[in-house]
């Protein structure tokens, strides 16, 4: 039995730590049930010219567009928000009126939360770098990215570049850094697949 368990564990670890290809995500082009909400709240919180596909791709990465998704740590809905984050967002935004499990409000709250991350990371970064830091902080938390920036400086790296975070984040979040790095890369791949 032990001879089978070790290869199985190694296979599962490889599967978890290997970047997932966006191949196959083209099917979500035809999954338009929530597109209206992605469009509306992207426009409301990010402006007319911002591509709403960034957030649909994020929801695919988070929940495969399953409004009933729930993670082991308690994140819920399409955008996989923690209940306390949803409450924080609803207390700060006059636009969020419903519940965490209602797709419309889950999407609205997720995009609102992204906007605050996006604005936070604006200094000295290109548009794409801001997006990467936004997604990274959505996944691992802003505090962890700030610590990773300090670690990047200690390693002689540019703390405003996501490439530096990929090298510095493991010192902060250990094996969980792989999840964050893959998450960010996966969203960009999915976005290209669903356009």
pLDDT the model gives residue 24: 82
What is the spatial distance between Cα 144 and Cα 81, in angstroms, rounded to a whole number?
A: 18
What six digits make up the tokens of 157?
A: 């790296």
What average pLDDT does the segment 147-163 reach?
98
CATH architecture of 2-194: Orthogonal Bundle (1.10)
Q: What pLDDT, in 10s, does the model give residues 57-108? A: 999 999 999 999 999 999 999 999 999 999 999 999 999 999 999 999 999 9
* Distant-in-sequence, close-in-space partners of 178: CB < 8 Å, separation ≥ 6: 16, 17, 170
Q: Where are the domains positioned within the chain?
A: 2-194
């Amino acid at each position: 039995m032990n001879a089978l368990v070790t290869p199985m564990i190694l296979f599962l670890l490889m599967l978890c730590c290997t970047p997932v290809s966006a191949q196959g995500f083209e099917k979500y082009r035809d999954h338009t049930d929530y597109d209206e909400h992605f469009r509306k709240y992207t426009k409301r919180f990010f402006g007319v010219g911002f591509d709403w596909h960034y957030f649909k791709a994020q929801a695919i990465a988070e929940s495969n567009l399953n409004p009933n998704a729930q993670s082991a740590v308690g994140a819920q809905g399409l955008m996989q928000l923690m209940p306390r984050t949803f409450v924080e967002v609803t207390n700060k935004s006059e636009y969020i009126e419903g519940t965490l499990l209602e797709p419309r409000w889950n999407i609205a709250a997720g995009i609102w939360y992204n906007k605050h991350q996006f604005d936070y990371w604006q200094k000295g970064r290109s548009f794409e770098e801001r997006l990467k830091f936004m997604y990274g902080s959505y996944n691992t938390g802003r505090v962890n990215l700030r610590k990773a920036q300090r670690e990047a400086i200690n390693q002689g790296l540019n703390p405003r570049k996501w490439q530096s975070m990929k090298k510095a984040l493991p010192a902060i979040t250990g094996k969980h850094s792989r999840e964050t790095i893959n998450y960010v890369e996966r969203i960009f791949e999915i976005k290209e697949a669903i356009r």
